[in-house]
Amino acid sequence: MKRSSGVRLCATAAVSALSLALITGCSDEGSKDSGNGKGGEAGKPAAKALSAAELGKLIIAKGEVPGFKVGPVEGGVPADDAVKADDAACDPLLDVLTGVAPGDPAANTSREATEDKKDPTDDATSMEDMADGKFEDAIKESMDLDVTVVTLSSYDGDGAEKALKAVSDAVKACSGGFSGVQDGEKGKFTKVAEEKSSGLGDESFAFTATNDAGKDGALPLHAELVRHGNTLAGYSTINIGAMMSKKAYTVSAPVLKAQDAKLK
């Protein structure tokens, strides 16, 4: 039985959920990095960054997010020089979307949180017995789960504030979309927009980057940065099943809540 190539590509893409090549498989996209660091107000001691070992104790771990499996990032987070936007002003957005720590962090670490699979609602015994429409619906249902990459990064001085501002400035500068490359894979976002953040931490900022290409229509990626002092928690969430079904989704609230609790 012939299957939709788009469905097969999306199913394969789920294995490495937040790589830009993933969305390219279902449609089209891009990538890279930027920011700054250092600082401290006059008369005040500069904030000292946490070490990688200290961040490792603070990032979410296995069993700490109800309804999610937490582990290493599938395929690893790309090196900051492996992702690059055609317009450097958009680099900070690709940092957050691909799990790269924005700005100039002293240390960073990442985890991936994958939502547990929901029980199937179709009582068919085999996907091979389904008609094409039913098969595609079953694929969408099986892939209707959030995959979130969490990156904790720590900065000297006011580097965390500067990194977050660089991302919020990039949303304005790149609202009309941008192109980029990750590990040789070219891609394109057609729209970037700020969205309501969780309001957690000392400050937070959220945005959506959307690709709108061909028959697949709008394919959004959701991201958020939450600052706790001189530590940033970056979140990038994708849900391929929701994308395919045109259902709304956001950065995973249980992941945000669990990580925020560890940073308080």
Q: pLDDT band at residue 159, thresholds of 50, 70 and 90?
A: very high
pLDDT at 226 over 80: yes
The Cα–Cα gap between 110 and 127 comes to 35
- The percentage of the chain sitting over the pLDDT mark of 90, rounded to a whole number, equals 56
Instruction: Report the candidate in 41, 37, 61 with the shortest Cα–Cα distance to residue 49.
Output: 37
Chain Cα centroid distance, residue 218: 17
pLDDT recorded at residue 186: 80
Which residue type occupies 210? Answer: T
Q: Distance between CA atoms of 5 and 3, rounded to whole angstroms? A: 6
Residue predicted with more confidence, 186 or 224: 224
Residue 14: what pLDDT? 36
- Which of the pair, 82 or 54, is modelled with greater confidence? 54
Residue 41 pLDDT exceeds 50: no
Tally of CB atoms within 10 A around 254: 16
pLDDT of residue 45: 60
Average pLDDT, integer, range 216-230: 91
Q: Which architecture, in CATH terms, is 5-263?
A: 3-Layer(aba) Sandwich (3.40)
What pLDDT score was predicted for residue 126? 53
Segment 100-108 shows an average pLDDT of: 96
Q: Say what the pTM is.
A: 0.80
CA 18, CA 51: separation in Å to the nearest integer? 25
Structure tokens at 105: 């962090």
For residues 127 and 74, the answer to whether their CB atoms sit within 8 Å is no
Exposure string (b/e) for 84-96, b if CB count within 10 Å is 16 or more?
bbeeeebbbbbbb
Specify whether the backbone of 98 is left (phi greater than 0), alpha (psi in -120 to 50) or beta: alpha
> Which pLDDT score is estimated for 173?
97
Kindly give the pairing relationship between strand 231-238 and strand 178-182. unpaired
CA angle 212, 220, 78 (to 5 degrees): 105
Contact between residue 112 and residue 16 where contact means Cβ atoms under 8 Å apart: no
Cα 181 to the center of its chain, rounded Å: 16
- HSE-CB at 122 with a 13 A cutoff on CA atoms is 17
Give the chain's mean pLDDT.
Answer: 81
